[in-house]
Structure formats: structure tokens, C-alpha cells
Amino acid sequence: MTATDESTEALVARVKAWIDDDPEPGTAGHLRQLWYDVEDAEPDKAAAAEAELRELFRTHLEFGTAGLRGPVGAGPNRMNRAVVRRAAAGIAAWIRAAGTAEHGVVVARDARHRSDDFVADTIEVVAGAGIPVHVLPAPIPTPVLAYAVRHIGVAAGIMVTASHNPAPDNGYKVYDGEGRQIDATQAAAIAEAMAAAGPLARLPISGASNPIIQHHGLEMVDAYLDAIGRVVKPKEGRAPVQVAYTQLHGVGGPVVRRAAHQSGFITLHEVTEQAEADPDFPTVSFPNPEERGALDHLVRTAAFVGAEVAFANDPDADRLAMAVVDPKVGANRDAGAWTPLSGDQLGWLLADHLVRRGDLPEGGVFATTIVSSTLLREIALAAGRGYVETLTGFKWLSRAGTPEHPLILAYEEALGYCIGDTVRDKDGISALLLASEMISDLVEQGLTVWDRLDDLARRFGLHLTGQWSVRLEGGDGAERIAEAMARLRATPPTMIGSRAVAGVSDLAEGAPARGLPPADVVGLALPGARVVVRPSGTEPKLKCYVEVVEAVPPGTDVAGARARAREGLTEITAALPAVLGLD
């Protein structure tokens, strides 16, 4: 039975049970009013109230690609104090079952709406279970929390953040004792413990003065900055770099300022309108640096100051976007000439920069995901190093390295980068340092980012990536996404645009030969191209990732190959809505 099929009486019974267990008067009151309206209001108002309740109780938030995440509100399908308390109880039970509870947990938050309340609930529940709690200064970037897990030596880390999601959202990222986002097995164990936690009113709650609660100061940020500062190779007389920067109303700015100062070669020019943390994100409609328009203020600042490169962190600073001037369009004081690089392009450039630096560890590996570009494989093999491909998300990428085969660089096309093993998660601040070092080297040599990308195209072929996605909210949206994936599996297309589909790979049962577990992912191979289709793990979206590869024979023009690739990418993406039955 789906939530839509459930009787009104059964739905109301679930609502009443939730209200009885809700520790927050505001959310309990909202649900109570909806329940009254369903039973007593005039028909139209009752129908609207019932529809809202069905959405709030349609499902419960689950640990997806990057933890729990959703709009703040009432009921199991929203982020609220009841959900957070149950999650905290589940984590406490999980580490106790693992025999590591005495090591404690570390907790931090960003500046989202209700993040302070959710941290307070987490501390009360975990400490109430008798488990030591280390609390980082707030607000703070997610990479600092990920680093702190191993630095302190705790059993788990909890970060209250919705990362780059819209302003109404909040979330809950959980890290294991190795400083990695929890994997599917760990998430299942926590979910089982959450379900077994019993009524929330029976959970023991700690007072704020409990001595097992330890509040840390900026010494944790000091340790993090000292550690990530080593991603830049010391060099006498390094060329200075003028950097435009925005934290997109998030929490990365204070740490980035210190990192830039400590580098000795980065001069930071911040976007003043976005330099303060603000959970409403007033200057952007969507605080994701991938979204159209999100970097408008940044490139205007970059043009005004004559910067050599422009960077944006997402609100919790675990992602990095980079924009540079396209000399074919204009000079660096022309805002319209500034062009954002794709996540793949920056990933290639960072990998190439590390190879050119020449200090790669023996046996080291490069890693990316099944939806990112295939070019990283070519770069890794040409450098005589290993290559690992994982499912989407850093809970997988963070496990790509081993003691015998240390991670050199991991990246995903969604602007996430991990350099080495210092932070076992994506880190937009250390990535900013390494990218700035790359720009410094290019400035010294009189070259541009575009020169480097052209060189990679000549060596390995012109790789061009793009994406088509559709956002489908609510229960109907989830059903349409599931139907599209089922249709794709049952009757895969024979053609996409003018290209024949040469092969279909379905990861529903996993791909042991590739080291990939089961996942809701379908790949379509085309001549000189590929498409990978998957539902998003953090948003109500169906995503299609497209890559086109054009050879660049010796003596031929890279620009011509790029134009052909763009034509192919445009044709394929235009055909995808019809292919998926979503046109």
C-alpha cells in the first residue's frame, strides 16, 4: 500500500501518534491543526489539509547520497527536532554496538535555519546516552568537522547542514571513525537503531553542564588549516594570484581568509554582498554554485578587481566552483568574459597539475565516479598511477584509497574535490588552495587554463560533458522518477538523436567486475558518447549525465573538435526528455 492508498483514518492515526512523540510544540501544533481541519473543516479546506498531511507522512527521510536532507517542517518526511533526536539516538546505539562509544562523537553545524536547535538536540541525546560529545565552534565548514573526526579520535562525526540545497532545507551528515561519510551498511545499521529507539519521551536527555560535553575553540580550525596548507608545495618566489571569492552567504569565508593569508601568495577579494552567513541566501535563488546565476556577483567582483581567477564555495564549503576569463569573449575586466568551468574540467586540471608537480606517491590512485568524465582514467594511466571508479558520492570516493594505494585526488563532477588523505571527504577549501597554486604556475609560464585544457584535448581527445535533469517534487514526482527508470530498463532506446545505442549497462544488480554494488543507475553507450541516468540522492531530481569525445588528430584544430562535441552534446541532451517519457 502506498501513502496515497492509505485510508484517511489510518493516516490520522499515524499523525496522532507522531504528535504524541514530537518534542517541539511548533511542529506538533501544525500537525494538530491539519488533523482538526481534515476532520472538521469544510470540504475544500479538509482536502487541502489531508493532501499536506499525506506529503508530510508520505515517507521518512533516509540516509541518501549525503545523509538526511529535506525541508524543515513537521512529520517524518521533513527535518525537525523529532527526526534529529531519533537520528542521534540511532547513532548513539550504533557506536555503542560497535564497542567504540567511549571514544565519543564530534558535532558541528553551519548557519542554516534551525541548525543550532538540531545541534542542541543531538548533544542532549548523545550525552544522555553516556557518550562523550565534542562540540566545534559554530558556524563552521563541513570539511573542518570531517578533519576533526580523526584529529580528535572519535567514533563518529555529525554535521548539521543542507550543503547547497535551497534555503528551506536542512540536513544531517554522519561520518564514521575514519572521517568518511557513512556507507550503505552503516546507514542501514543506524536506521535500524533509530527504529528501535522507542518513544522519544523515554530517551535520557543530558543537561548542558554535563562534564562529558566538551566545547572546542578555534584550535580545531588552526589544526585543520595547518594540515590542508600542506597541499601547496613550498616554492620560493611563487607568483602572486589575485582571487575573487564568495562563500554564497555560507560559512566558508572566515576559514578561507585565513587559508589565503597563510598561503603567502593569494590575495583575496570577497563579494561583499555575500560575505556574511545568511540562511535566507538573499542574493541567490538557489545557493548552489552549479546553478545558473549563482556566480553573477562573483564574476562582477572578479571583473572589477581584475582578478586572475574566481572561486565560490557552496554554503558549507565542501564544494568549489571556479571561473576564469575566456579570452575569446573579452578581457578580465569584462564581466561577460568570465566563464565557469565544469566540475569535470577543474577535476582534470587539478589532476594534471599534480602530475606536472611530479610528487605523486608510489602506488597512488586517482578516483572519480561513474557519472563523471572518463578523461581522468587517461590522465592517471599516462602518469603510471592507478584509477578507481565508484558510485556517486564521497561516501564511495573516500574509500577509493588504501594504505598500499593512497588516494592522490578524488573528484566528482558536482564540484567536489578531495586532495590526498588529509580530509576524507570533499573539501572546497583545500581545493581552492591547490587550484590557486595551479593558476600561479600558469601565470609564471604565461599560459592560461584554456591552454592546459587544449593540451589535454590533444593528448587524450576532446572530452565534453553536460547534464540534463528534471526536478519532480512530491509523491507524484517520486513515482514519475521511478516510472521513468522502470521504462528505461524495460524498453531501452535504440537511438538517441542520430546515434545508435550500442550497449546498455544496468547497475540494479551491481557490477562485481567493476567493483560496483547495486545502484539505481542505467548507462547507455553511444558511438563517441555515453549517457548515465540516475535519480538524485539529495534532491527530487532525475539526472542524466552526458559525455561526448572527439579525437584531435595531430595538426588539427582543437576548436573544431570542440565545436563538433558541442553539437553532439546538444543533440543528445535535447533528445533525453522524450527518451525518458518526460517531455
Is 373 in the same domain as 478? no
Mean pLDDT of 344-355: 98
Q: Domain containing 486 — which CATH number? A: 3.30.310.50
Is 33 in the same domain as 71? no
Q: Domain containing 246 — which CATH number? A: 3.40.120.10
Is 384 in the same domain as 412? yes
Q: Is the pLDDT of residue 472 over 90?
A: no
Q: For residue 227, is it within any domain?
A: no
Q: Which residues pair with 496 in a beta bridge?
A: 499
Is 159 in the same domain as 292? no
The answer for 494, left when phi > 0, alpha when psi is -120 to 50, beta otherwise, is: alpha
Is 149 in the same domain as 265? no
Q: For residue 205, is it within any domain?
A: no
Domain total in the chain: 4
Is 413 in the same domain as 286? yes
Here the cell at position 447 is: 599560459
Is 390 in the same domain as 524? no
The backbone torsions φ and ψ at residue 71, rounded to the nearest 5 degrees and listed phi first, read: -65, 145
Q: For residue 180, is it within any domain?
A: yes
Residues designated catalytic: 163
Is 174 in the same domain as 253? no
Q: Is the pLDDT of residue 305 over 90?
A: yes
Tell me: the pLDDT tens digits for 272-297? 999 999 999 999 988 999 998 999 99
Mean pLDDT of 423-452: 97
pLDDT (0 to 100) of residue 355:
98
Is 415 in the same domain as 474? no
Nearest Cα residue to 108 out of 137, 150, 143, 82: 137
Residue that is last in its domain, among 407, 434, 460: 460
DSSP SS3 for 255: helix
Q: For residue 9, is it within any domain?
A: yes
Q: For residue 304, is it within any domain?
A: yes
Q: For residue 469, is it within any domain?
A: yes
Tell me: the pLDDT tens digits for 78-113? 999 999 999 999 999 999 999 999 999 999 999 999
347 close to 413: Cβ distance less than 8 angstroms: yes
Tell me: the pLDDT tens digits for 360-369? 999 999 999 9
Q: Which residue range is the domain that position 103 belongs to?
A: 61-199
**C-alpha to C-alpha distance for 323 and 48, rounded to whole angstroms:** 45
Here the cell at position 402 is: 588504501
Q: For residue 33, is it within any domain?
A: yes
Is 101 in the same domain as 150? yes
Share above pLDDT 70 across residues of the chain, in percent, rounded to a whole number: 99
Is 505 in the same domain as 492? yes
For residue 538, the 8-state DSSP code is S
Place of cell 566563464: 339
Residue that is last in its domain, among 199, 228, 253: 199
Residue 7, Cβ density class (10 Å: 0-12 exposed, 13-18 middle, ≥19 buried): exposed
pLDDT (0 to 100) of residue 1:
37
Nearest Cα residue to 203 out of 386, 49, 81: 81
Q: For residue 456, is it within any domain?
A: yes
Place of cell 581545493: 431
Is 446 in the same domain as 335? yes
542 close to 533: Cβ distance less than 8 angstroms: yes
pLDDT (0 to 100) of residue 539:
75
**C-alpha to C-alpha distance for 419 and 409, rounded to whole angstroms:** 5
Tell me: the pLDDT tens digits for 5-34? 789 999 999 999 999 999 999 999 999 999
Residue that is last in its domain, among 460, 483, 503: 460
